[in-house]
Amino acid sequence: MDAQIIIGANYGDEGKGTVTALYTNKYLGDTLNVLTNGGSQRGHSILTKDGSITYQHFGSGTYHGADSFYCEHFILNPAQFTKEWDALIEKPNVFRDPNCLWTTIWDMMANRIEEERKKRFASCGMGIWNTIRRSRKVYMRFDDFMALSKKEQSAFLRKVRSFYENRLDFSSFWKKIWYDYDIETHFLEDCQFMKDHTTSGTIRELLALKSLCTNTYDNIVFENGQGLLLKDTGRDTFDTTPSDTGATYALDIIQDLENCGMEFNTTLHYVTRPYLTRHGDGNISNENKRTNISGSIQEDRTNQWNSNQGEFRYGKLDISSLKERVENDARGYKYILEVTHCDEMDRKTEFDKMFGPENIQYIDNPTV
């Protein structure tokens, strides 16, 4: 079985959605699109004949009929799942690891309240860090929560709210929403919707079931969120992401499946633009105005605006530093450098010299 691992090489926004969709479309057989890390703070956009589509809680291969699988390092968000499902052109089969953390609507609100109070733009507002911090104290597996009575579910959600109430400085605006009875009602409906439209099980169980049906997947595409420059450092800070953004999680899954007797032809795909980009606050190397980097760079063609993240920023890309972090992460595995948006800035000679032309694919941000 072929396995493709799609990894952002920088601060995110490199074009991982486009590359995922291209490799999903390349394989005519069944494809499993694994969301490897992070959560619905990702916004992976693809350009199609139906227009631009942004996926947050589903794989970017969904447009081409790929199934989605949430590995245990992906954080579920029932509210976002329900919202996004209704907008999907193709409705995939969706599977989730039973050990996934899951975000409540109050984790999201707490995230936005904190950012508003600190007057900064460092978050997508999806409550990722909040979910992790809260789950260290107040946690229940999603499947176990859904097995409770409505009264017991409400009691657990009161514990979630209580976790934040002595930690947040509520404005009158947020306090009214925080205690709104309808918020809980709608959230519980979203949880039920997600349960009804997903199947719980490990990836090993899923693949074993598929093999019994004699129609195993031909290809697995692991789609990472964020990028190598946002990799978890162990610091609980606003400008980091709480997950490994490199190849580790995908390779761990592949190793586990190989231990069960499966065989994989694995290729790592590191995605970059010819320049750096980053949303919102936080460090960005060699920051500069877009027009100073290249007069051909178009303004934010595929990235969906998020008011919580602030402006879209640009920087000059050091290709030698890029090579170092890619090879440190690849650890000897076969990889391809996927250069997107290369129609905006011609650095082909530099990339070829550093990586070798046989190891690079150039992409002009095409319709997939």
pLDDT of residue 71: 97
pLDDT above 70 (res 211): no
Number of neighbouring beta carbons within 10 Å of residue 352: 14
SS3 assignment, position 333? coil
Which residues lie across from 272 on neighbouring strands?
Answer: 339
**Superfamily in which the 2-98+199-362 domain is placed by CATH:** Adenylosuccinate Synthetase, subunit A, domain 1 (3.40.440.10)
Q: Where are the domains of the chain?
A: 2-98+199-362, 105-195
pLDDT at 333: 95
What pTM did the predictor assign? 0.93
Please give the Cα distance from 23 to 171 (Å, whole number). Answer: 47
Q: How far is CA 364 from CA 25, 109, 294, 314, 349, in A?
A: 17, 38, 16, 18, 16
256 Rama sector, left if φ>0, alpha if ψ -120 to 50, beta otherwise: alpha
The CA angle 69-305-288, to the nearest 5 degrees, is 110
Mean pLDDT of the chain: 90
pLDDT tens digits for range 74-116 = 999 999 999 999 999 889 999 999 999 999 999 999 999 988 8
| Cα(118)–Cα(78) distance, integer angstroms | 27
